[in-house]
Amino acid sequence: MATDYTLSWILPFVRESLRGRGNFHFDGFINGLWAALENAAVPGIAKIPPHIGYSGMAYDVQQAPHQLRFVAAESFYYLIHNGFLIPGPPTNNPGFPDRGTFHLTPRGVVWAASAEPLPENFDGYMKLLRGLVPTLDSVTEQYVSEGLSSFVRGTYFAAAVMIGAAAEKEVYLLAESILDVFKDANQRKKLNELLDGRGLRVLFRFVDDEITQASKNKTLPYSVAESAIPHLMSLIEAIRVQRNDAVHPMNAKVSEDSVRHTFRAFPHALEKLEKLLAWFLANPKSI
């Protein structure tokens, strides 16, 4: 099957190639990237034979498909545009790095060292999410999908709205799954009223209290309850900080880094939430 050379496809290789790197020129960037591609057995990666005169390049880049070379250059400028990489200033002043040399910024070092899914890598991110949550809700999946597409285009407000909406959808699904867990009809009535009222803050406090109490009295197994509240809180933060700030123009606090952090945390938070949801559905009248 032919490789679809896209920016989202190549960025994980770029990230791998930059880990632990110092300063470099563009040729050094390509050498490192081609090494990562070679390790992954990507077709079209050919080394320059040792008997050929030294050119500074370890690989015969001309042997690679044109689209691969194009997207490699695109990824280089993506790093610069997003503040992960900066060129040396155009000066001969010895107090500054040499011109023609590129340097990872502190943000770039963190980005390269991270092992979390890249929101820029649409296919890889969705594969991870579906792997962690095989029963992923179709509406949630569409929100996440559109949020990733917005992130890659640099429309971070739109991405924030989408990932916040995905988180809100999942919190409501979790709350609905608790209805049949209650033995007390008054508790079911109260939760139904909260679901109908769509007051997320009060609803979340109710769900939080019930999960915490069920965990304390050992009704909820430790394997299910472990880290549940911190993960649930991360989803609530996605709603409060990302979506709500994005849709209220007076706040204007949405940034690339804040949205990136939310996308990075979302798959594992959702995995834990789905375990809670599955337990509630499988254990009616248990609380």
CATH code given to domain 7-113? 1.10.10
Mean pLDDT of 206-224: 84
Q: What is the pTM of this model?
A: 0.76
Output 165 or 228, whichever has higher pLDDT: 165
pLDDT of residue 63: 92
Domain chopping of the chain, boundaries: 7-113, 122-282
Q: What string of H, E and C letters represents the secondary structure of the chain?
A: CCCCCCHHHHHHHHHHHHCCCCCECHHHHHHHHHHHHHHCCCCCCCECCCCCCCCCCCECHHHCCHHHHHHHHHHHHHHHHCCCEEECCCCCCCCCCCCCCEEECHHHHHHHHCCCCCCCCHHHHHHHHHHHCCCCCHHHHHHHHHHHHHHHHCCHHHHHHHHHHHHHHHHHHHHHHHHHHCCCHHHHHHHHHHHHHCCHHHHHHHHHHHHHHHHHCCCCCHHHHCCHHHHHHHHHHHHHHHHHHHHCCCCCCCCHHHHHHHHHHHHHHHHHHHHHHHHHHHCCCCC
Q: Is the pLDDT of residue 175 over 70?
A: yes
Q: What percent of the chain has pLDDT over 90?
A: 32
